[in-house]
Amino acid sequence: MAENEKMTTPVPAVGAAGEQSNSKTTENIIPKETSIFNKRKGSLNTVSMSELFDTVYPPKLEIIDGLLYAGTYLFVGAPKIGKSFFMAQLSYHIASGTELWNYPVHQGEVLYLALEDDYARIQKRLYKMFGMEETDDLHFATQSRTLSGGLSEQLEDFIKEHPNTKLIIVDTLQKVREIGGDKYNYASDYEIVAKLKAFSDKHNICLLVVHHTRKMESEDSFDMISGTNGLLGAADGAFIMQKKKRTDNKAAMSVVGRDQQDQELTLEFDRERCIWRLIKAEAEVCKIPPDPVLEAVAKLVTPLTPVWTGSPSQLMAHLPDVAMLSHVLTRYLNVNTERLFNEYGILFESKRTHDGRTVTLKLVNPPA
Contact between residue 213 and residue 240 where contact means Cβ atoms under 8 Å apart: yes
- Residue 206 scores a pLDDT above 90: yes
Contact between residue 130 and residue 86 where contact means Cβ atoms under 8 Å apart: no
Tens of pLDDT, residues 233-267: 778 888 989 887 777 889 999 888 877 778 889 99
From CA 357, how far away is CA 165, in angstroms rounded? 33
- Residue 154 scores a pLDDT above 50: yes
Range with lowest mean pLDDT among 236-245, 281-290, 299-308, 336-345: 281-290
- Residue 358 scores a pLDDT above 80: yes
Looking at residue 264, the DSSP 8-state letter turns out to be E
Pairing label, strands 109-114, 165-171: parallel
pLDDT of residue 190: 81
**Confidence band for 232, pLDDT divided at 50, 70 and 90:** low
Give, rounded to a whole angstrom, the gap between the first and last alpha carbons of the chain: 42
What residues does each domain of the chain span? 3-59+288-363, 63-283
Higher pLDDT, 194 or 276: 276
From CA 111, how far away is CA 274, in angstroms rounded? 21
- Percentage of the chain beyond pLDDT 90 is 46
Contact between residue 360 and residue 340 where contact means Cβ atoms under 8 Å apart: no
Tell me what the mean pLDDT of segment 198-205 comes to. Answer: 92
User: What predicted TM-score, i.e. pTM, was given to this entire model?
Assistant: 0.75
- Name the fold adopted by 63-283: Rossmann fold (3.40.50)
- Residue 227 scores a pLDDT above 80: no
- Residue 115 scores a pLDDT above 90: yes
